[in-house]
């Protein structure tokens, strides 16, 4: 499976989501993220679309986040196509500790147990298990050397770069350097992670249209109150104006806090992978179903019998 397969058309031949330059105003009362459905040019290959996606992301942190999202989506898609009920990931204890720090820095505390826990059932039909989480990376390296196992190395955008190249790179340097003097660092972080349980609101939340993790209700309002993007953000700015494009879609409520930060500085006109359109359609279908249920209940409310009334009559 190639990374560019995230732009391959699937069932239904869904269009792609393109971010439009509309009302993304740093420091405003509420940021608004708008996109529109577009058909990709016939001359653009899937590889070209993938390159354009990462070119539209302005920081190494955002590029690494999107790369992780793409890889996770492809793994889950392959597992479903092969009818696999479980996916085993090779995250070591060291990698898990780094991931905990990086996800916390990204503002993914709500989905932390789902993204880094020993077992996650968030992905429908596929259980994600991390059986290597009890072994630190040094133990795995010695085992591979003694048994002459081949090791695969997959570089990222900040491999070999300075420690401040990205949040993930900084988290890795922090854990590795701290564990060098305090060997109990990695086990302590992993034991702390084991105590975390997904909150009920996380399990009930709609998936984010970009990363697929729980999208916090009113995450955009919470982000606007707490996040400072520029020096002038400390002052209240006017509410963003509406998008000029008539066919634009407001996807703000369908984004988690972390993905809002990622798209905040994304170049307008960037086309998101095809799975984002699928997840947006699923979110709209679930919202429509919930609205229909509420409308139906409102219509028959007067015909329903209150349980308390029945109990009072019995006495």
CA atoms of 253 and 215, how far apart (whole Å): 8
pLDDT tops 90 at residue 308: no
pLDDT at 216: 84
Q: How far is the C-alpha of 218 from the C-alpha of 30, rounded, in Å?
A: 10
Beta bridge partners of 128: 87, 120
Q: Which of 2-16, 58-72, 166-180, 297-311 has the lowest mean pLDDT?
A: 297-311
Query: SS3 of 52, please?
Result: helix
Tell me the pLDDT band of 32, cut-offs 50, 70 and 90.
confident
Q: Give residue 248's pLDDT.
A: 79
pTM here is 0.81
Cα separation, 110 vs 204, in Å, equals: 12
Give 191-223 pLDDT, tens digit per residue: 999 999 888 888 888 899 999 999 887 776 666
**What integer best gives the mean pLDDT of the chain?**
81
Strand 119-120 to 127-129 pairing: antiparallel
As given in the structure block, the two tokens for residue 153 are 């190395």
Please tell me the predicted confidence (pLDDT) of residue 28.
47
Q: What share of the chain is helix, strand, coil (3-state, %, to 5)?
A: 50, 10, 40
pLDDT band for 19, please (50, 70, 90 cuts).
Answer: confident
* Rounded Cα distance, 212 and 120, in Å: 13
For 300, list phi and psi in degrees, rounded to 5. Answer: -105, 10
Burial class (CB in 10 A: 0-12, 13-18, 19+), 158: buried
CA dihedral sign of residues 20, 36, 81, 201: positive
pLDDT digits (tens, 9 = 90+) for 60-116: 999 999 999 999 999 999 999 999 999 999 999 999 999 999 999 998 988 999 999
Q: What is the pLDDT of residue 315?
A: 47
How far CA 179 is from CA of 12, 131, 143, 191, in Å, comes to 49, 21, 20, 15
């Amino acid at each position: 499976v190639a990374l560019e397969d995230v732009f391959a058309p699937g069932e239904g031949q869904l269009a792609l989501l393109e971010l439009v330059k509309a009302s993304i105003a740093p420091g405003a009362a509420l940021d608004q993220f708008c996109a529109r459905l577009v058909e990709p040019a016939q001359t653009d290959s899937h590889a070209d679309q993938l390159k354009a996606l990462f070119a539209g992301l302005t920081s190494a942190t955002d590029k690494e986040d999107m790369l992780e999202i793409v890889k996770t989506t492809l793994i889950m898609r392959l597992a479903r196509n092969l009818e696999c009920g479980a996916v085993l990931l090779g995250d070591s204890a060291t990698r898990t500790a780094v991931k905990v720090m990086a996800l916390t820095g990204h503002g993914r505390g709500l989905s932390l147990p789902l993204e880094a826990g020993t077992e996650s059932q968030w992905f429908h039909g596929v259980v994600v298990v991390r059986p290597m989480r009890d072994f630190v990376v040094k133990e795995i390296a010695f085992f591979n050397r003694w048994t002459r196992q081949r090791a695969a190395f997959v570089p990222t955008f900040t491999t070999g770069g300075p420690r401040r190249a990205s949040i993930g790179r900084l988290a890795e340097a922090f854990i590795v350097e701290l564990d060098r003097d305090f060997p109990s660092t990695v086990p302590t972080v992993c034991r702390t992670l084991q105590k975390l349980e997904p909150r009920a609101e996380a399990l009930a939340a709609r998936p984010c249209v970009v990363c697929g993790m729980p999208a916090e209700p009113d995450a955009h309002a919470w982000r606007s109150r707490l996040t400072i993007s520029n020096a002038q953000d400390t002052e209240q700015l006017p509410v963003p104006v509406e998008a000029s494009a008539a066919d634009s879609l407001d996807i703000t409520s369908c984004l988690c806090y972390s993905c809002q930060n990622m798209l905040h500085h994304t170049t307008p006109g960037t086309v998101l992978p095809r799975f984002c359109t699928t997840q947006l359609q699923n979110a709209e279908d679930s919202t429509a179903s919930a609205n229909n249920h509420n409308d139906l209940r409102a219509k028959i409310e007067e015909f329903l019998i209150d349980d308390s009334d029945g109990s009072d009559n019995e006495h």
